[in-house]
Each structure stands twice: as C-alpha cells, then as structure tokens.
Structure 1
Amino acid sequence: MRQTLFRYGTPLLALGCIAMLGLILLNREAPATVTALLQSTQLQAFNVLFIGILLEAFPFILLGVIFSAILQVFVSDETIRRFTPSSIWGGLLFGGLLGIIFPLCECGMIPVIRRLIRKGMPAYIGMTYLLAGPIINPIVFSSTYIAFRSNPEVTYSRMALAFAVAVSIGLVFAKFAKHSPLREAGHTHAHAHIHAHTHTHTHTHTHATGGGKGQSKWSATLGHASDEFFDMGKYLIFGALLTAIIQTSIEREMLASIADQPLLGYMLMMAFAFLLSICSTTDAFIAASFGGMFQTGPLLAFLVFGPMVDLKNTLMLLSTFKVKVVLLLIGLVFAFTLAGAMLTEVLL
C-alpha cells in the first residue's frame, strides 16, 4: 500500500500543482466547487493540523539525523562497544535513562537507534532507548509537570510507567531476540554504496584543493544527514497526512459517551494516542484537556503509549525494522502499557 501511494501519489500531486500554476498564469479562478472546498472549515482545520504536525516533528527528525550522521562519521564501532554496559541489567538501565542525556522526540529517535545498532550496540539496549527516550527526558518531564501542575502524581507516574514498560520490553528482546531487528533491504546496501562513493569523492576532492581531514569528515556528515533526512521524511509526511485526516474526523462527543466504561476508556485513549500522533513534548497538554472526562489510568495510557507507538512513527519503524519486529513491539507496548496503567490507577 505504501509503495502504491508513493508511486501514484507523487504524479497526481505534480498534476495538481501544474493545474494550479496554469490557473495562475491564465489569471483565472478555480471552479466554484473547488473554491468552496478549499474554503471549507474542515479543510482549513486539516491544513492547520497537517502543517502543525510537520513543523512540530521536522526539527526533531533533523536533530536525529544530524546526531546519527555524527555517530556514523566521528564515532567508531569500538567506542560504542566500550561505553555500552556488558551486563543485561546494566544495559537496560543505560538504555532506559539515556534520554536524560540525549533527549530526542520519537521521530528523531529512529535514525539514531538504527545507527547505534549498526555501530554495535546490542539491539535490546537500542529498543529500550527507543521506547524510553521520548518520555524519560527533561523536556517531557517539564511539559508534563506544567500541564498537570495541580496533579503532579501524573508526571511521576508517567516517568515510572514509561521506564517500567521500556525495560520490560528490552528484557524480552534481550532474552528472546537472537538476530538483528533491522531490515536488510536492498536499498540499505545501495545507500551504503552511495555513502562510500560520496565519502571517497569528497576525500579526493579535499586533497586536490588542499583541504584537511576534518573538512572531509564534515562533508561526509552532511551527506549522511541529508540522505537519512529524505529517507525518513517521506514516511513522516505520509503519517502526518493520515493523522491530520483522522484528527479532523474524530468528534469529542464520541469520546465522552464511553469515557465511563473502564476498559473501553483505556482502549480508546490508547487508540486516540496512536491516531493523533502528537509529539511527546506537547501531548501532556492534550491529555490534561481530557482530565475532567477520563480518570488517571486512561490518561497515563495515553501519555505512555502514544510517544512509544503512534501512526507516523509506525511507518518510520517499518522503514527501519523488520515487519514482525514492529508488530511484536506494538503488541508488547500495548499489553504492558495497558496492564501498567490499570495497576497504577488502582494504586493511586
């Protein structure tokens, strides 16, 4: 489905742009039906949401790919292995708290995790960091505390539950995952060849112009970053498109009708978090707006499940990890988050 959309969507979009350019050059207005559609309230809301998601996520993806490219060029495999704990529990603790030092959004995490695993970091540590990093970091802690300043227990419960879920899933991967979770697609090798060719060409050109070794490395860094940015960006755009469509279609009254039903309340808020795909730095304010409608448990499920698994980052996960790994990851996050949120509701 994704390949079909990319195959036919780009030509259709190009035709639409050509048609709009033709109307501009001919100084003519669009047909009345098209004008009414473009000025409709629902379409305006869609435009705001779609652009808002892109503007919110692109800086974090850019940060992620730059950090990933720096890892590729400047950090050796031996360095990664030297700083990675050898014991399983030490690795899980390391992965669960690494976001405090390197706070990245879930969008920017994926290229970094891919690079770290390829550099030699054990997959279970990478998966733990992938799940915990978007939540257990100073930025998200601050935003959640501000959103729930009248109920700070939610903030601490979110951090604790996220850590418990991430470490539990990391332990599952440590015990049962014997092979690399990364995809071994043909385009990966093609990218590697392109990177090697670019690096060789840059290195040769640098010597010809009298440049230094540092300049060659920074050129290679920019090449890696640009390739990964465009590789991950197309999945973000597609995910943002679907997310904006869903957000403009869901009515708040529908949520209120089943908020009082215990299990359905959890399931609905987790589905809501998945479909809305809100960045972890701002989702606490969305959750707080439902505070008068849902209990603490469903709100925690929303705050933990969404940053770990949502619609737009699922597409990005599928571009990086094997399909069965992604499905297993989603299932484990769902089960552990649901059980943890329900237990927390009882304890609070």
Structure 2
Amino acid sequence: MLPLLIPAVFLIIAGIVWLPEHPELLDNAYVDTFKTAFIGILLEALPFVLLGALLSSLLRVFVPDEIISRWIPRRPVPAILFGCLLGILFPVCECGMIPLVRRLMHKGMPLYVAVVFILSGPVVNPVVYGATLTAFRSHPGLAYARMGLAFAVAALIGLIIYITVKKSPLRLSIQRETGERHEQGTRGGKLVAVFVHTSDEFFEMGKYLIIGCLLTSGIQSFMNQGSLAAIGEKPLGSYLFMMGLAFVLSLCSTSDAFVASTFLHTFPAGSLLAFMVLGPMLDFKNSLMLLSLFKTKFALYLFFLIFSAVFIGSVLVSLGL
C-alpha cells in the first residue's frame, strides 16, 4: 500500500485546499467532465493491462529462467542489444520485472544486462507498442519515438554500468522470489497457476491505473486550462511536470499512453515522450523495488542516469517530431 500513499495524499490535500476556494468546480458540468474523462481513459487502457498481465503470467509459468540465461551472449555489446530486445520475446510489465530479473541474476545474468532488461523490457514490447499506437492514432510517430528512445536509453545506461560498475551492488539479504514457491505449490496445475497470477497482476496493476486515471481526470477537469497551457509553453517546465507526474502516478506501461494522450493538445510532444519513457523505467513503486534489490548507492546512481538520459534524449528526439 505504500506506493499508493503519495497520490492518495495528493488527492486529499487538493480536495481540502483547492475545492473550498473554488465551489464552482463542484457544478454538474465539471463533475460530468471528470466522470467522462475517467471512464474513457480507464476503458481504453484496461484491455491492454489485462493482456500484459496474461502474457506475464504465461512467461512466469511456462518459460524456465534457465532458457533466458542460456541465450545471453558473452560479449558486452551483443549482450546489451539482446537485453534491449528481450522484451519483444517476453513482454513483462514493470510491476513484474524486478522479481523476474532477481531470479535471472541468481541464475547468472550479468548486472549490466539485467539493468538493460529492467529499463527496456516494460516499454520495448509488442503490447506496449500496440497500446501506444492505439492511444496516439493521429500521431503514430510518438509510438515509434517511444520505442526508439527507450531502446537507446537502456542501451546507453547498460554500457555505462558495464564500464563503471565492477562490484556487485546486490543486497546480501536478497532471497529467492517467494512467488516461485507459490507457483510450485499452486494446486490444479499450470493452467490454474496462469489464472491465479493473471488475476494477481491485473488487480495489482489495476489499482495504480485507477489512481492515475483519477489524478489525470481531475487535472484535466478541474485545473484551470490556462495554467496547464502556461506550463506547456515553458519547455523546461513541461518536461519536468510530465516526468514528475509519471513518477507519482506509477502507471503500468500498458496504460500510461492513454493518460499521456489527454495532454496532447496542451503539452509539447517531447514532454509526453518523456512521460511515457520515464514512467516504466522509474516511478514511485518501481524505485522502492529497485532499492530493495540494489544497494542504496547504486540505486541512486541508476536513478540519476535514468532521469538524465530520458530528459536529454526526449529533448533531442522532440526536435524531429
């Protein structure tokens, strides 16, 4: 429940401080707009969240970790490229990425390849590509740019990790993922295990999606459009606002494009790209999981690399959008 604390506190504070000063926001027109926006975003995103949860569960149950480990090339550059493309074969949402990578590292996956997979896997996969293309039907270039930038950021950070980190940053207290024991002990065979894991992941990701839809619908419905336009007119402000929003919302990568598309006519395309690339790589819930996997010093180093690379990369890519 801890990852839900920041958005929940944000909602409570906004309600206490803002609404008494603007009673007109409780008019039926604003409420109707809020409900319409909320239901629209939610219904568009849910099928992709369900599909992502199902594919993740099929991977967990039917594909042994040893198969992935055996495929990793020995040389660093091919290994980094392999890590970037691994999400195409094994689409896993960022919610299930850390447990999977933890198992793979126990089986011999190098650190730099694991980091590349953590960063690229939730974005560079067919489910997320399809969701992004659906959300930005009129601007398909954003879907292509999202895949390309995520690939480039993950590869660059993987190369930096390979060059600069020589000692293992894993916490000594890390144990095998308890989900493995749960999976082995599930009664009814693998098919039942698939349904159990799919439902678990769907409801785990769904709560973040609902919080994200609530916040986004509230911003779109109740926040003064002139204020949003003012933020969007400032390049630095729009990028920082959207990247901060991505961190706080902690949306699943299969649904964040639908939230980003609601800002399409208010913010520059580059800031929406930063939102969609940073969120799956570094959000509130994911940062907590990374801190549980890696030592604090390395985790903070990784956070800095992710933020810097996404910010600079999205600015550069936006010049061609």
Same fold judged by TM-score > 0.5? Answer: yes
Closer/same/farther in 2, CA of residues 296 and 275 from structure 1, 3 Å limit: same
Question: d(CA) in 2 for partners of 1:288 and 1:238?
Answer: 20
Question: d(CA) in 2 for partners of 1:181 and 1:94?
Answer: 22
1:144 corresponds in structure 2 to 132
Identity over aligned residues, as a percent?
A: 40
Question: d(CA) in 2 for partners of 1:189 and 1:150?
Answer: 45
CA shift, 1:181, in A, is 3.3
Closer/same/farther in 2, CA of residues 156 and 56 from structure 1, 3 Å limit: closer
Query: Which of 114, 120, 123 matches 1:135?
Result: 123
Query: Which of 150, 157, 167 matches 2:145?
Result: 157
Question: d(CA) in 1 for partners of 2:298 and 2:163?
Answer: 14
Please provide the CA RMSD for this pair.
4.1
Closer/same/farther in 2, CA of residues 258 and 135 from structure 1, 3 Å limit: same
Residues 135 and 162, structure 1, Cα contact 8 Å, conserved in 2: yes
CA shift, 1:152, in A, is 1.6
Residues 236 and 312, structure 1, Cα contact 8 Å, conserved in 2: no
Residues 243 and 311, structure 1, Cα contact 8 Å, conserved in 2: no
CA shift, 1:189, in A, is 7.5
Question: d(CA) in 2 for partners of 1:165 and 1:115?
Answer: 24
The one-letter code matched in structure 1 to 2:159 is: L
Question: d(CA) in 1 for partners of 2:264 and 2:49?
Answer: 25
Residues 135 and 280, structure 1, Cα contact 8 Å, conserved in 2: yes
In the TM superposition, what whole-angstrom CA distance separates every residue of 1:223-279 from its partner, at most 9, and x where no partner exists? xxx99x99x99x989978987896688564453331111111111110011111121
The one-letter code matched in structure 2 to 1:93 is: L
The answer to whether residue 54 in structure 2 is matched with residue 101 in structure 1 is no
Residues 97 and 136, structure 1, Cα contact 8 Å, conserved in 2: yes
TM value normalised by structure 1 = 0.65
Matched position secondary structure for 2:109: coil
The one-letter code matched in structure 1 to 2:105 is: I
The answer to whether residue 293 in structure 2 is matched with residue 320 in structure 1 is yes
1:1-348 equivalences under 5 Å are: 64=56, 67-68=59-60, 74-76=64-66, 80-185=68-173, 188=175, 252=223, 253=225, 254-348=227-321
Matched position secondary structure for 1:274: helix
Closer/same/farther in 2, CA of residues 142 and 243 from structure 1, 3 Å limit: closer
Question: d(CA) in 1 for partners of 2:298 and 2:92?
Answer: 22
Residues 243 and 275, structure 2, Cα contact 8 Å, conserved in 1: yes
Question: d(CA) in 2 for partners of 1:304 and 1:93?
Answer: 18
Closer/same/farther in 2, CA of residues 57 and 156 from structure 1, 3 Å limit: closer
Closer/same/farther in 2, CA of residues 302 and 130 from structure 1, 3 Å limit: same
Residues 236 and 316, structure 1, Cα contact 8 Å, conserved in 2: no
Question: d(CA) in 2 for partners of 1:273 and 1:340?
Answer: 16
Question: d(CA) in 2 for partners of 1:326 and 1:81?
Answer: 23
CA shift, 1:130, in A, is 0.9
CA shift, 1:281, in A, is 1.1
Question: d(CA) in 2 for partners of 1:298 and 1:190?
Answer: 36
Closer/same/farther in 2, CA of residues 61 and 178 from structure 1, 3 Å limit: farther
Indicate the structure whose relative CO is greater, using CA pairs within 8 Å and at least 6 residues apart. Answer: 2
Closer/same/farther in 2, CA of residues 55 and 275 from structure 1, 3 Å limit: farther
Question: d(CA) in 2 for partners of 1:280 and 1:255?
Answer: 24
Question: d(CA) in 2 for partners of 1:324 and 1:147?
Answer: 37
TM value normalised by structure 2 = 0.70
The one-letter code matched in structure 2 to 1:282 is: S
Question: d(CA) in 1 for partners of 2:62 and 2:278?
Answer: 30
Question: d(CA) in 2 for partners of 1:285 and 1:121?
Answer: 34
CA shift, 1:123, in A, is 1.2
Residues 212 and 249, structure 2, Cα contact 8 Å, conserved in 1: yes
Question: d(CA) in 2 for partners of 1:287 and 1:123?
Answer: 32
Instruction: Identify unmatched segments of 5+ residues in structure 2.
Output: 6-30
Residues 65 and 111, structure 1, Cα contact 8 Å, conserved in 2: no
In the TM superposition, what whole-angstrom CA distance separates every residue of 1:204-230 from its partner, at most 9, and x where no partner exists? xxxxxxxxxxx99x79xx7xxx99x99
The one-letter code matched in structure 2 to 1:327 is: L
CA shift, 1:70, in A, is 5.9
Question: d(CA) in 2 for partners of 1:167 and 1:114?
Answer: 20
Question: d(CA) in 2 for partners of 1:56 and 1:321?
Answer: 30
Question: d(CA) in 1 for partners of 2:94 and 2:148?
Answer: 18
When structure 1 is superposed on structure 2, of 133-142 and 175-184 the one drifting more is 175-184
Residues 95 and 129, structure 1, Cα contact 8 Å, conserved in 2: yes
CA shift, 1:126, in A, is 1.2
Instruction: Identify unmatched segments of 5+ residues in structure 1.
Output: 6-40, 203-214
Q: How many residues align?
A: 283
